[in-house]
Amino acid sequence: MLKSLTFDTFKLSRSATKQIFGIHQHYCALNDNQSHGQSVEVRKALEGWYEKLKDAGVGDIEFNLKCLVAHVLKRKFSTLKSYKTEEFTAEQHSEFSRLCEARCARMPLQHILGEWDFMDLTLKTAPTVFIPRPETEEFVSKVLEEYRNVKQPIDMLEVGCGSGAISLAILNALPHVTSTAIERSKVATALAWENAKSLKLSDRFTPYNHTTSKNNYLPKELADRKFDLIVSNPPYVRTEEFPLLQPEVTLYENLNALDGGQDGLQIARLVFDLACLHLRPGGKLWLELGSEHPPLVKTIMNLKYEGRLRFISSYIDQYKRDRFVEIEKV
């Protein structure tokens, strides 16, 4: 039995032997380059990674590789035009290979880089803190359109601020806005504050670590506060949809930041109740939700919140999906 097991274990096909020998040669060459401090052209360093990323199921591979190259070279993405002609030092080549391996394991690009551009800002990211999506930039742009020409001060509340992306982008664009934010994750609350300080927006941004629940919508310090504007990108993924999510999400993100319950509106309903208590008459509530939610929200407003909240409109994102909702306090 042992003899058979030993034979089967070490019995390699000719192609497998070549593959292992090739990997061995690659790392021997890499180590040799490191020991002699030789530079490596990016074009050479890229060899094999496109296929590996494709086999791992990563999409938009060219974009991913260029982001990793820019990060390793400590260059802005936009400054790398013909990036394949750039050169790595031996240490940079080794780091690039390590980061590519992490991306093959479906670690989100934003977590690998440790930062991500959102609107006109560069935000620090952290594992388990929700990564803002491109559609959320569109959501913020809609809010900015509404308030850009407003001259008087605006007191804003964000529910579930995550890394602070929405609040900080609005504060950066509109100097007459101040933002209070609540977030149930301690890590995310700390990260939002760190981002605010690094962007020099902390004088107009106050985050609280607080979990919104029925009859406990805001921290005690905010119990009597009224706001001109409430924004939120609450969890809206239906629980049954979790098996359909990408590995980048299921393996590396905080699923509590995504789980909207049976119909995806579990947290949104809490935000509706919060708005009834803490939004000034005429104030607006803006929400980013799933594409199936705006018609449901309109029905909920008419049936449960008549005389308190009024559905104004919904707006589509770049993919023609109905995503953004505008509601007014009566």
Q: Are 183 and 192 in contact (CB under 8 A)?
A: yes
pLDDT score at 326: 98
Cα distance between residue 183 and residue 21, in whole Å: 51
DSSP state of 291: T
pLDDT score at 76: 85
Find, among 67, 100, 109, the residue nearest to 249 by Cα.
Answer: 109
> What is the pairing mode between strands 177-183 and 205-209?
parallel
Q: Are 161 and 183 in contact (CB under 8 A)?
A: yes
Find, among 135, 197, 211, 198, the residue nearest to 166 by Cα.
Answer: 135
* Domain coordinates in residue numbering, the chain: 39-105, 116-329
Query: One digit per residue, pLDDT tens: the chain, 330 residues?
Result: 322 333 233 233 333 333 333 434 444 444 444 444 689 999 999 999 999 999 999 999 999 999 999 999 999 887 888 889 999 999 999 999 999 999 999 999 998 999 999 999 999 998 888 888 889 999 999 999 999 999 899 999 999 999 999 999 999 999 999 999 999 999 999 999 999 999 999 999 999 999 999 999 999 999 999 999 999 999 867 766 767 777 777 776 666 766 667 787 999 999 999 999 999 999 999 999 999 999 999 999 999 999 999 999 999 999 999 999 999 999
SS3 250: helix
pLDDT score at 2: 29
pLDDT score at 55: 96
| Tally: H helices and E strands in the chain | 13, 11
pLDDT score at 257: 65
pTM > 0.85: no
> What is the pairing mode between strands 309-316 and 322-329?
antiparallel
Under CATH, what is the fold of the domain 116-329?
Rossmann fold (3.40.50)
Contacts from 253-256 at CB under 8 Å and sequence distance 24+?
Answer: 253/108, 253/128, 253/130, 253/131, 254/128, 254/129, 254/130, 254/185, 254/188, 256/184, 256/185
DSSP for 255-268, please give it: GGGTB--SSS-HHH
Tokens of 201: 């927006």
pLDDT score at 255: 67
